[in-house]
Amino acid sequence: MATPEEFEAAAARSKELPAKPDNTTLLKMYSLYKQGSEGDVSGERPGGFDFKAIAKYDAWAGQKGKTQDDARQEYVDFVNSLF
């Protein structure tokens, strides 16, 4: 399992990617980071025409039930795979 330090180092490293990832990759990174740092999604799903917020909520909700430890490890592995 990734340590909290490895998790935060991967988060910092993700800002140094050579090219901006596509939206699918960004949503996966976001959802794994949120699941790893906060756990299952909380609050209500955004409504209206805020499509970005809806996509982010849905991506995070897709990680529901995954442990924070598993999400942190998957996040670290995923970020490392982008280099």
Which structural domains are found in the chain, ordered by start? Answer: 4-81 (1.20.80.10)
Query: Which amino acid is residue 22, in one-letter code?
Result: D
What pLDDT was estimated at residue 8?
Answer: 97
Name the pLDDT band for 78 (thresholds 50, 70, 90): very high
Question: Quick check: 10 and 80 in contact, CB under 8 A?
Answer: yes
Q: Give the global pTM.
A: 0.94
Q: Model confidence over 13-64: pLDDT tens digits?
A: 999 999 999 999 999 999 999 999 999 999 999 988 999 999 999 999 999 9
Question: Quick check: 41 and 64 in contact, CB under 8 A?
Answer: yes
DSSP secondary structure string for all residues of 9-76? HHHHHHTT-SSPPPHHHHHHHHHHHHHHHH-S--SPPP-TT-HHHHHHHHHHHTTTT--HHHHHHHHH
What pLDDT was estimated at residue 59?
Answer: 98
What pLDDT was estimated at residue 66?
Answer: 98
